[in-house]
């Protein structure tokens, strides 16, 4: 809980304040104003967050002036979204960039001029239908709605609106997900062709575990546990704003232990013996971490060279999940292995999967790939 000690500045019909957090840092500035009573006679107080004291003072002064002149000027959705995303200082840089993209590319062009209190579920769904019609993936539309819903939940807490219309948007599943995936024959053929490649272990791990590219490139020797044939996901090596950074996984479900098959475990154990604990597993000849973009380009080069259907590196993750389902792995097991967030599956899918069950699933998928007959891959 935040330390409530802070500073408060009283102003006519309202005040601004900020709090000192337990970390010693200051929170954003907040402006609080008493609004006219609602139609049912309830008192209403509005609280807004701002990045600076000056911006909080200006907003409060403007609202006070509007009250004095008997005017009511509800904020427009676009104005509110831009202010809201600026004060989300708890977000990672990559998440903030994603939110800003949703707001600036999709929400403001279509809904930005709508007064916040007039926004309805029907309006939102009409925009989403349009976006799906022009080719936007349903997955992207769901993420846009998640961003909008987060902002509108804040607006509810601030007293600007009574309900969150984005929470009532119906999920779009008809166009939900059409990833390109390999068949088991094609995946097995790729592993056979790549067996002599320097990054064979990386390609194999991607297929048998479904780990994300950043999770694979962030693996260190200390993350490998030969005694349990497992790897622990503790960090990601990703590109943010054109820079390669290493950061912790965003969610608890992403910070997970993934069990691997016996062949992969032996390969990982060999890498662990040859490295110091903090050393990355996948590096250049000079020992530097790999560029995520280069890894994807290298993967595509191998795919084209060996005449396989072209898919993205990330599609290896989808292929892994699809092959797991085809051999009877349960959705719960796949969900735990992939570290999916609650936006991908319901909370019920994130029950703890026993290690023995995970080990059988990992071994079964690897056996499926390792024992495919040659030929018929294309």
pLDDT at position 251 over 80: no
The C-alpha atoms of residue 3 and residue 50 are separated, in whole angstroms, by 19
Arithmetic mean of pLDDT, 27-31: 81
Mind listing the pLDDT tens digit for each residue in 181-236?
888 899 999 999 999 999 999 999 999 999 999 999 999 999 999 999 999 999 99
Q: Which of 82, 92, 95, 24 is CA-nearest to residue 55?
A: 82
> Where is average pLDDT lowest: 10-14, 98-102, 306-310, 355-359?
355-359
> Where is average pLDDT lowest: 90-94, 111-115, 262-266?
90-94
Mind listing the pLDDT tens digit for each residue in 321-358?
888 877 777 777 888 888 875 434 423 322 333 444 45
Q: Tell me the sheet residues that pair with 39.
A: none
8 close to 17: Cβ distance less than 8 angstroms: yes
> Where is average pLDDT lowest: 163-177, 203-217, 301-315, 342-356?
342-356
Query: How many Cα atoms occupy the beta-carbon half-sphere of 223 within 13 Å?
Result: 23
312 close to 296: Cβ distance less than 8 angstroms: yes
pLDDT band at 374 (very low <50, low <70, confident <90, very high): low
Per-residue model confidence (pLDDT) at position 218:
96
Phi, psi torsion values for 23, nearest 5 degrees: -70, -10
Burial code (b: 16+ CB inside 10 Å, e: under 16) for 91-115 equals eeebebebbbebbeebbbebbbebe
Phi, psi torsion values for 251, nearest 5 degrees: -125, 160
pLDDT at position 170 over 70: yes
Place of tokens 């930005």: 112
- Percentage of the chain surpassing pLDDT 90? 35
pLDDT at position 4 over 50: no
pLDDT band at 130 (very low <50, low <70, confident <90, very high): confident
Phi, psi torsion values for 247, nearest 5 degrees: -145, 165
Mind listing the pLDDT tens digit for each residue in 260-298?
999 999 999 999 998 888 899 999 988 899 999 999 999
The C-alpha atoms of residue 84 and residue 157 are separated, in whole angstroms, by 12
For residue 150 the two structure tokens come to 């987060």
Arithmetic mean of pLDDT, 140-169: 91
pTM, to two decimals: 0.54
For residue 192 the two structure tokens come to 């056979």
117 close to 75: Cβ distance less than 8 angstroms: no
> Where is average pLDDT lowest: 70-79, 150-159, 233-242, 252-261?
70-79
Average pLDDT, the chain: 80
Higher per-residue confidence, 75 vs 311: 311
Q: Which of 274, 270, 233, 237 is CA-nearest to residue 252?
A: 233
pLDDT band at 360 (very low <50, low <70, confident <90, very high): low
Q: Which helix (H) or strand (E) holds 230?
A: strand 230-232
Q: Which of 155, 153, 144, 75 is CA-nearest to residue 105?
A: 144
pLDDT at position 252 over 80: no
Arithmetic mean of pLDDT, 58-63: 82
pLDDT band at 43 (very low <50, low <70, confident <90, very high): low
For residue 207 the two structure tokens come to 């297929």
The C-alpha atoms of residue 60 and residue 290 are separated, in whole angstroms, by 50
What are the chain's domains? 1-73 (no CATH), 74-178 (1.10.150.130), 184-370 (1.10.443.10)
Exposed/middle/buried for residue 206 (C-beta within 10 Å: 0-12, 13-18, 19+): buried
Q: Tell me the sheet residues that pair with 11.
A: 14
Max mean pLDDT among 12-16, 106-110, 212-216, 363-367 falls in 212-216
Q: What angle do CA 16, 17, 21 make, to 5 degrees?
A: 160
> Where is average pLDDT lowest: 60-64, 132-136, 300-304, 346-350?
346-350
* Pairing mode, strands 44-50 and 224-225: unpaired
- Percentage of the chain surpassing pLDDT 70? 79
């Amino acid at each position: 809980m935040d330390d409530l000690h802070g500073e408060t500045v009283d102003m006519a019909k309202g005040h601004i304040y900020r709090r000192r957090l337990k970390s010693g840092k200051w929170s954003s500035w907040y402006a609080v104003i008493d609004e006219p009573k609602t139609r049912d006679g309830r008192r209403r107080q509005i609280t807004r967050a701002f990045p600076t004291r000056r911006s909080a003072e200006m907003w409060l002064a403007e609202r006070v002036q509007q009250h004095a002149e008997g005017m009511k000027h509800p904020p427009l959705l676009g104005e509110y979204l831009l202010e809201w995303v600026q004060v989300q200082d708890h977000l990672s840089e990559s998440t903030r960039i994603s939110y800003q993209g949703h707001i600036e590319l999709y929400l403001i062009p279509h809904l930005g001029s709508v007064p916040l209190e007039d926004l309805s579920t029907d309006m939102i769904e009409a925009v989403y239908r349009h976006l799906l019609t022009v080719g936007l993936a349903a997955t992207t539309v769901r993420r846009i709605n998640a961003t909008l819903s987060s902002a509108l939940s804040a607006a509810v807490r601030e007293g600007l609106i009574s309900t969150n219309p984005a929470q009532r948007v119906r999920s779009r599943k008809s166009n939900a997900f059409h990833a390109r995936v390999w068949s088991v024959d094609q995946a097995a053929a790729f592993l056979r062709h790549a067996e002599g490649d320097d990054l064979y272990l990386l390609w194999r791990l991607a297929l048998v575990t479904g780990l994300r590219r950043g999770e694979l490139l962030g693996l260190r020797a200390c993350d490998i546990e030969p005694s349990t044939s497992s790897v622990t996901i503790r960090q990601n090596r990703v590109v943010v704003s054109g820079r390669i950074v290493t950061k912790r996984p965003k969610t608890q479900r992403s910070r997970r232990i993934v069990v691997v098959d016996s062949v992969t475990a032996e390969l990982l154990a060999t890498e662990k013996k040859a490295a110091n604990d903090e050393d990355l597993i996948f590096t250049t000849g000079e020992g530097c971490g790999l560029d995520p973009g280069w890894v994807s380009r290298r993967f595509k080069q191998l795919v084209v060279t060996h005449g396989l259907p072209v898919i993205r590196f990330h599609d290896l993750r989808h292929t892994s999940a699809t092959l797991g389902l085809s051999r009877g792995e349960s959705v719960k097991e796949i969900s735990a292995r992939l570290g999916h967030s609650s936006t991908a599956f319901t909370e019920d899918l994130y029950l703890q999967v026993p290690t023995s069950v995970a080990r059988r699933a990992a071994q079964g998928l690897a056996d499926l790939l390792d024992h495919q007959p040659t030929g018929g891959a294309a």
